[in-house]
Amino acid sequence: MTLSERIKNKALSLGFDLIGIAPAREARHKTAFLSWLDQNLHADMKWIERNPDRRADPRLVVDDARSVIAVGVSYFVCNPPPGIWNDPSRGRIARYAWVSDYHKVIEHRLKELSAFLQNEAGSETKTRYYVDTGPILERDNASLAGLGFIGRNSMLISPSLGSYVFLGEIIASVELEYDEPTDDEGLNMKVESGGKPKASCGKCRRCLDVCPTHALPAPYVVDSSRCISYLTIECRDAIPPELRPKMGNWIFGCDECQQICPWVHRYSEPKESPFLSYDPERVAPRLVELMSMEEQAFRERFAGSPVMRAKYRGLMRNAAVAMGNWGSEEALPVLNRAARHDDVLIREHATWAIQRISAG
């Protein structure tokens, strides 16, 4: 077997569901990325705007970079029972945060794969690996490596797994055999020999239409300042009052633009892996119980979970918004206590929720 074939076999044995190899080159979507930054569509995520040229070219990340090994791990899990998932008195947490912190799990696998590569190609081989943390446009490199196409919601969509996929990559200073890239953005439903449609969005725009806050103003464009995922996780300040009623009971992240996708409906299947085990009570917690927690209880309940990224005050803010949208007087006692909280952010959102409930 060639080195590329051995790398792929090793990746699959480590538990990766997708593996592809692309040349280290400037991102195909660099112009679109720079335009997105120029329009301030990244909101307050200042870290994204640092060294944009480096983020758009892996050769500026690793000296003598020749290849990018792109990997994917499915994180699709079926919804909890409808009685839990559709209960407005519970908060919804995005699917990627149902599992233990994926960074640690996937980084460990990438470390092993990187060591395997250096052993096979020579210890002088330079490598660097990332999982959602490095200065690299992951979806661009994944599509260049043939893992999937970029959907209108800007997610990477795998024709075999849908879009519930964690991505990672190894940048390496070794020349490898490269996979065929997907069509740039998959704009057209071209037909291959045999009549099978090539993977793309076709004319579908369900993701754009379903977004509650209209955070997808155009295909392949995300306005972060309106995105529920940004508002509930990355935003550290008050959520704009006009967007709060549109957030429903999402308290950490949002899956609306993914769960509507035909590719997700058709091809996403739960994997048999301990990595994907979850507790229904943890992924859709009762809002009253959540709002009653002190910070120490929050840390104990969500230890090792991506939910920790929102921090205590952020999750309490989000829970208050969800309680206001629930609209039940059952929420008032705990909201009245929160309206006297030491933290002004929690007080302000609890007061808003009380007013919304009282207004009927």
Q: Could you list the active site residues?
A: 132
- Residue among 163, 166, 156, 155 nearest 102 (CA): 166
Q: In what order do the strands lie in the sheet with 165-172?
A: 18-23, 67-74, 165-172, 127-130
What are 344's two structure tokens? 């002004």
CA distance 227 to 251: 13
